[in-house]
Amino acid sequence: MNVVIVGIGLIGGSLARDLRSHYPEISIYGIDASDAHLKEAIELELIDGIASAKELAEADVLYISIPVDAIVHELPKLLDAINDDTLVIDAGSTKSEICRRIINHKRRRNFLASHPIAGTEFSGPSAAISGLFEGKTNIICEVEKTAFKLQERALSIFSRLGMRIRYMNPEAHDKHIAYVSHLSHISSFMLGKTVIEKEKNERDIFDMAGSGFESTVRLAKSSPAMWTPIFEQNKENVVETLDEYIQNLEDFKQKLLDDNFEGIYNEMDNTNKIKAILKGIPQNNKDR
Ligand code: NAP
């Protein structure tokens, strides 16, 4: 199988690692805006070399794992460069704008819109890990718009990698993901900001920060280059989730001011049911 990966960072590099272990005969070529990442990806044996027009034209699978604004920009051109039998898959964390962008492209049926719910807060080829996709959910949008035989090729690859498939329309994907992923990132970034600002005056605050702080603020290590376009593309849904979150914070604060500790107890007790909801999610599943 000939594969070209556009964006050989955390997601593209992890895919390369898993493809190599499941398809020993595979050839994988890469395209990336960063020469340093391409060099590193070759050194790490994620890719066999840099893809030229020839590798693009001969690809059985083209996997696009670059920031979502770059996907919107590059996807039509990449569809122009492939052959009629190439399967093109994207990994973008938003889906509506990407799907809209190529709705009328002559090779729309070569494209499968997907979002693997797998990742970490780290970036670049050195962050790529084996087995990242094992047991994780892969959300596929508008599957009916992909040619049937290319759907089958994609499902066979996802199945070998151990992924579970969920089908959703792009609008539902973006609405749901705003709650479970995008809001978590904003909340983590703003918690980090609040503590960093306080730390200017109270140097030893970090000495007191236990694992609770560390795990809650983990997502604030994520790349602004990846997350800014995600928030831009999903602005409407993200604003809606923020309104609800801010209201909950205000209510919590008011209960404290009112000495309503029974109300505070009940809020936390009700929210404890998150334990049951999240039971069964693999421990290494990160919230993307
Ligand atoms: P990453 O580690 O930063 O890798 C992205 C790579 O693409 C970088 O090497 C970047 O180079 C390069 N790039 C940027 N613009 C490009 C362009 N126009 N053409 C070619 N290469 C370009 O990012 P990632 O975490 O793998 O994320 C990739 C995609 O997967 C994003 O769409 C993201 O929404 C999605 N996703 C991420 C996660 C996650 O947990 N990280 C999970 C699921 C889905 P520079 O660094 O020089 O810009």
Distance from the alpha carbon of residue 260 to the mean position of ligand 1, in angstroms: 46
Tens of pLDDT along 164-214?
Answer: 999 999 999 999 999 999 999 999 999 999 988 877 666 666 666 677 788
24: region left, alpha or beta (phi > 0 left; psi from -120 to 50 alpha): alpha
Q: What is residue 281's DSSP assignment?
A: S
Q: Give me ligand 1 centre to Cα 7, in Å.
A: 6
Task: Name the residue at shortest CA distance from atom 29 of ligand 1.
Answer: 65
> Mind listing the domains of the chain with CATH numbers?
2-168 (3.40.50.720), 172-287 (1.10.3660.10)
Considering only CA atoms, which residue is closest to atom 38 of ligand 1? 119
33 lines ligand 1 (CB under 6 A): yes
Give me ligand 1 centre to Cα 68, in Å: 8
Angle at 172 between CA 168 and CA 173, to 5 degrees: 70
pLDDT digits (tens, 9 = 90+) for 24-81: 999 999 999 999 999 999 999 999 999 999 999 999 999 999 999 999 999 999 999 9
Gap between the Cα atoms of 159 and 170, Å rounded: 22
Q: Is the CB of 94 under 6 A from ligand 1?
A: no
How far does residue 244's CA lie from ligand 1's centre (Å)?
29
Task: For residue range 247-287, list pLDDT tens digits in order.
Answer: 999 999 999 999 999 999 999 999 998 888 887 665 545 44
